Amino acid sequence: MTSLSDIRSTFLDYFKRQGHEVVSSSPLVPRNDPTLMFTNSGMVQFKNRFTGVEAGDYQRATTSQKCVRAGGKHNDLDNVGYTARHHTFFEMLGNFSFGDYFKKEAVPFAWELLTKDFGIDKSKLLTTVYHTDDEAFELWKKIGVPEDRIIRIATDDNFWRMGPTGPCGPCTEIFYDHGDHIWGGPPGSADEDGDRFIEIWNVVFMQNEQFEDGTMKPLDMQSIDTGMGLERIGALLQGGHDNYETDLFKALIEASAHATSTDPFGDQNVHHRVIADHLRSTSFLIAEGVLPSNEGRGYVLRRIMRRAMRHAHLLGAQDPVMHKLVPALVQQMGAAYPELGQGQTLIEDTFLNEEIRFKTTLDRGLKLLDDALVDVDEGADLPGETAFKLYDTYGFPLDLTQDALREKGHGVDVDGFDAAMAEQKAKARAAWSGTGAAADAAIWFDLADRHGVTEFLGYETETAEGQL
């Protein structure tokens, strides 16, 4: 069986032979972009190369990039456990041209690697192009893709932008048809979200620049940016369609089953998938020094950790579990990512602390949620106030509550949640005014806003004890 590490090397070696510099993955916390929560694609570390702000020694590069999509523009958190192809953490393989080669080289590179080096059956592949991109259409046709398997797409799925302004351009995506025993329709169809046709590779042709006044001009420097999910191509080359059935995920799922004395498959499998996925993203973030907190990146980390803990709870775990799975992850990925082994103790301790901290309120909060659901009609939303109470008193991130409710066919009244949050902030501010300590209060509320109300112990114990 071709392992994920073999696939990673085959990819990088192929592009090295085509004159690309093999560049290491950049960190998940972007060094050059404060507006971005986490690195979510291979191009992030090269932004300044694409805009021409920075020059470099090489004009072609290839990477295997650590990515997290659990917040901001790309958020796949809600897909985990529901699709065969989404993770919060994944590795993106990519090749890049900075004003060097363009479409007529990039398309054959992708095709040759997939069909020769990886030996993928051509008749199972189909491609999409942006509806006006005749050049890309012709290139696929010339390479031998039948016309009815080159789909023109008019949406932004096939038009990429770096931001509201700056470089942009059409993309072409390569899909694999896993067969009609799996639900899903071809790209552009109503059922495209199914897992039958899986997007494996996305190739962006940066050819325009978008300006603030809405106009777009051709770029002097035309570039290529591509991304292929290692876990997706891995599933395919290992003979399956499901990322969670690759060698690496099987090992993590087995570790999760072992630690909870449960069956790795059957009904419990979905919980193991979530746990295995969340174990990866959270461990990689902690290894880079992100720690759980109530704001920013730390809060995204906490949300993912707590979600994983709820799924461990659903498996019947009484004691902390997540920290026990870290060695399996280090064993699977430590060779490619030494930071995991170096950070192992920190990762385990962080998990254990967070698990202990959250355990009691998790149990109580879930009970409150069950009780509250008795009064909610089938398919109706949970009142925002209840979701807010779970957040404020029990430390339930909103998306954890949503995740718990989704299985039962309910949503949350998010407007109601926001209103309850705003009301509480206003009340707390009012209670402080007039005490003569306005300056202190201003500082304090600023902290409370940034760190979240649950970090304010006086407040937390007051509400918590009232309820518990």
- Binding-site ranges for Mg ion (CB under 5 A): 199, 202
Cβ atoms of 165 and 212 within 8 Å: the answer is: yes
Question: Of these partners, Mg ion, ligand ATP, none, which one is at the site of residue 420 (CB under 5 to 8 Å by kind)?
Answer: none
Asked if 284 touches ligand ATP (CB under 6 A), the answer is no
Tokens of 432: 């402080």
Member of 133, 225, 231, 354 binding ligand ATP (CB under 6 A): 231
CA–CA gap between residue 45 and residue 43 (Å, rounded): 6
Member of 169, 184, 229, 384 binding ligand ATP (CB under 6 A): 229
Question: Of these partners, ligand ATP, Mg ion, none, which one is at the site of residue 85 (CB under 5 to 8 Å by kind)?
Answer: ligand ATP
Asked if 4 touches ligand ATP (CB under 6 A), the answer is no
Question: Of these partners, ligand ATP, Mg ion, none, which one is at the site of residue 200 (CB under 5 to 8 Å by kind)?
Answer: ligand ATP
Q: Calculate the CA dihedral of residues 428, 430, 435, 439 and round it to 10 degrees.
A: 80
Please, which residue, 85 or 273, has the CB nearer to Mg ion? 85
Asked if 85 touches ligand ATP (CB under 6 A), the answer is yes
Asked if 69 touches ligand ATP (CB under 6 A), the answer is yes
Please, which residue, 85 or 271, has the CB nearer to ligand ATP? 85
User: Quick one: which segment of 8-16, 54-62, 228-236, 400-408 binds ligand ATP (CB under 6 A)?
Assistant: 228-236
Tokens of 151: 């789909």
- For ligand ATP, the binding residues in 190-219 under the rule CB under 6 A are 199-202
Please, which residue, 197 or 358, has the CB nearer to Mg ion? 197
Please name which of 31, 30, 13 lies closest in space to residue 22, comparing C-alpha atoms. Answer: 13
User: Minimum CB separation from ligand ATP for residue 312, in Å?
Assistant: 22
Asked if 225 touches ligand ATP (CB under 6 A), the answer is no
Residue 261 has phi, psi (to 5 degrees) of 50, 50
Member of 76, 354, 381, 413 binding ligand ATP (CB under 6 A): 76
Member of 20, 60, 66, 87 binding ligand ATP (CB under 6 A): 87
Question: Of these partners, ligand ATP, Mg ion, none, which one is at the site of residue 310 (CB under 5 to 8 Å by kind)?
Answer: none
Asked if 86 touches ligand ATP (CB under 6 A), the answer is yes
Q: Select the residue whose beta carbon is closest to ligand ATP and give its number.
A: 229
Measured CA to CA in angstroms, residue 340 lies from 81, 370, 421 at distances of: 24, 38, 37
Question: Of these partners, Mg ion, ligand ATP, none, which one is at the site of residue 90 (CB under 5 to 8 Å by kind)?
Answer: ligand ATP
Residue written as token pair 């080096």: 117
Tokens of 327: 């060695």
Residue written as token pair 């918590």: 464
Residue written as token pair 């949050």: 421
How many residues make contact with ligand ATP (CB under 6 A)?
A: 16
Dihedral class, residue 266 (left if φ above 0, else alpha if ψ from -120 to 50, else beta): left
Q: Strands 89-97, 74-75: parallel, antiparallel or unpaired by DSSP?
A: unpaired
Asked if 177 touches ligand ATP (CB under 6 A), the answer is no
Please name which of 336, 327, 347 lies closest in space to residue 283, comparing C-alpha atoms. Answer: 347
User: Quick one: which segment of 81-89, 116-124, 132-140, 311-319 binds ligand ATP (CB under 6 A)?
Assistant: 81-89
Cβ atoms of 44 and 162 within 8 Å: the answer is: no
Member of 71, 170, 227, 384 binding ligand ATP (CB under 6 A): 227
Please, which residue, 137 or 176, has the CB nearer to ligand ATP? 176
User: Minimum CB separation from Mg ion for residue 74, in Å?
Assistant: 6
Q: DSSP states of 285-354 as a string?
A: HHHTT----SSHHHHHHHHHHHHHHHHHHHTT--S--HHHHHHHHHHHHTTT-HHHHHTHHHHHHHHHHH
Asked if 170 touches ligand ATP (CB under 6 A), the answer is no
User: Quick one: which segment of 46-54, 79-87, 217-225, 446-454 binds ligand ATP (CB under 6 A)?
Assistant: 79-87
Asked if 351 touches ligand ATP (CB under 6 A), the answer is no
User: Minimum CB separation from ligand ATP for residue 201, in Å?
Assistant: 6
Residue 322: CB atoms within 10 Å: 26
CA–CA gap between residue 8 and residue 106 (Å, rounded): 19
Tokens of 89: 């953490």
Asked if 278 touches ligand ATP (CB under 6 A), the answer is no
Please name which of 341, 339, 300 lies closest in space to residue 26, comparing C-alpha atoms. Answer: 339
Give the dihedral sign, CA 243/116/199/49. Answer: positive
Please, which residue, 202 or 208, has the CB nearer to Mg ion? 202
Question: Of these partners, ligand ATP, Mg ion, none, which one is at the site of residue 87 (CB under 5 to 8 Å by kind)?
Answer: ligand ATP
Residue 83 has phi, psi (to 5 degrees) of -115, 165
Binding site for ligand ATP (CB under 6 A): 69, 76, 85-87, 90, 92, 199-202, 227-229, 231-232
